[in-house]
A and B are shown apart, each in its own frame.
Chain A
Amino acid sequence: MGHDLAYLEDTELIGNFLNGDINSFNRLVLRWQKRLYNFSYRYLTDEEQAKEVVQLALIKAYKNLKKLKNRERFSSWIFQITVNLCKDNLKQNSRKRHTELSDEVIQNEGEHLYSSNGITDRNNPMDILNQQDLGNIIKRTLTRLPEEQRIVIIMKEYEGFKFAEIAEMLNVPINTVKSRMYYGLTQMQKILKKLNIDREVIFNEV
């Protein structure tokens, strides 16, 4: 569909849409849905919830795009909408999540991660870990972090925003963003060490 639309910049598509061309908006949707979903999924770790959030974010964008003053900033604008919706979603489901994550020591969590991935010999994880296991372990490890650290890590590592952009989207000072990033990564690193996930496992996995 609309071959020509594929070559337009986001700003041009926004212009077309505001002039009444719904297909330009659909092109924006095609362009952004996957990225917004990946972000929401990593943050909420639930496929259905993430899809729900993406849909809500896009509907919000559809309704409010005319209020966006600087079209160059569409990327952070749509992400900000998505972040807020993710937060609302977490609040709504907070009771459920709290019980799921009732506090264990990292060590125990480590054992649990291994057993839940069918890994029994934790001294030789290399033989057993495949890409998907590793993905699951990272996912579960990330959910152990405080939410404010987790979101910064996700926005930085997976979405590649600059610290200044993250600060603006989350409405906190840039130094706060950086220290959350730093402590989040340090925590992450400690957990991974407990799990014997080291250089070898990361770079040589089968």
Chain B
Amino acid sequence: MKCDKKQSELLDYYYDELNEASRKQFELHLAKCEECETVLEELKLTSATLRKWEVPDPKLNMVFVAEKAAWTEKIKDIIHAIFPEKLHPAKSVAYGFAAVFIMFSFTNFEANYDADTGSFGISTSVFGKKTGGANEELLLEQLQLSQNLIDVIVQNRLDEQDMRQRDDFNQLVSAIIMEMDNRDYLVRQDLERVGYSLQAFYEINDRRFEDVKDIVYQDVMLALQTVEIKK
């Protein structure tokens, strides 16, 4: 095209970036100028062609858990996240489950299920020998523990249908654990899987886990107590 100014204006015109006055002015020019009209037509066609390219859905589902950081800060954050002043019940359940994962992803908790009494306890070993290093191993262990924990919660609280969902969830978590061997913590596939299973779990069970939040709350409090005693 001969005229650079027109070339730029033509693009602005086609992509609707001219103001009202310039647009009208350009339309007047367009009516007279055959070259511009041809170029515009070709531009439209090329643009329409380009838009026929659709990207296949990658089925992404990334979810972030808190990174390793000073654990006291994190626990405060979790409590704040689970219990801001007034929280919608469904929301707090979502927070609760997220918190279970967040908790397990940065400190060394141990969940113990007592089969006789049907109760479970949770303790922390932040200052224990496991702190630092060997992240992978730790995370595997943590995921295993969170799996057990949710297992217990569901077992204690829910009916048969929920048991089946619990099993699905467990299968997903087991798959993550199996595949995480010899890999770093922030591997996309892991994030995706954790994301899928977490989300699927609380989307399926929307608004039905109200009492779970109390359990999570108690766990956090208990964990805090344990930590304070160790201090």
Residues of A within 8 A of B (CB): 1-4, 20-23, 25-26, 29-30, 33-34, 37-38, 41-42, 47, 50-52, 54-55, 58-59, 62, 131, 134-135, 138-139, 142, 153, 156-158, 162-163, 175, 178-179, 181-182, 185, 188-189, 192, 197-199, 202-203, 205
Contact = CB atoms under 8 A, between A and B. Distances in A.
25 contacts: A2-B94, A4-B91, A22-B65, A22-B102, A23-B81, A29-B63, A34-B57, A41-B55, A50-B58, A51-B58, A51-B188, A55-B62, A55-B191, A58-B64, A135-B52, A135-B53, A138-B49, A138-B52, A157-B51, A163-B17, A175-B8, A178-B11, A185-B46, A188-B49, A189-B42
B199 interface: yes
B12 interface: yes
A22 B50 contact: no
B7 A62 contact: no
Q: Rank and list the top 10 A-B pairs by shortest CB-CB distance, nearest first.
A: A55-B188, A138-B53, A20-B77, A1-B94, A189-B46, A135-B53, A33-B60, A38-B55, A157-B50, A178-B8
A51 B62 CA distance: 10
Contacts of B169: none
Given A22-B81, A134-B52, A2 B91 contact: yes
A203 B48 contact: yes
A54 B52 contact: no
Given A51-B60, A163-B11, A202-B52, 17 more contacts: A3-B88, A21-B81, A25-B64, A26-B63, A33-B62, A37-B60, A47-B58, A62-B64, A62-B67, A134-B49, A134-B52, A135-B52, A153-B50, A163-B12, A178-B8, A179-B8, A189-B42
- Decide if the interface of chain B is mainly helix, strand, loop or mixed: helix
Contacts of A34: 57-58, 60
Contacts of B61: 30, 33
Contacts of A22: 64-66, 81, 98, 102
Contacts, number: 126
A58 B42 CA distance: 38
A131 B55 CA distance: 11
A42 B95 CA distance: 35
A2 B199 CA distance: 10
B34 interface: no
Contacts of B88: 3-4
Contacts of A41: 55, 58
B203 interface: yes
Q: Which of B58, B80, B91 gathers the greatest number of chain A CB atoms within 10 Å?
A: B58
B158 interface: no
Contacts of A182: 1, 7-8, 11
A42 B55 contact: yes
B109 interface: no
Nearest to B47: A157
A192 B58 contact: no
B202 to A, nearest CB: 6
Contacts of B94: 1-2, 23
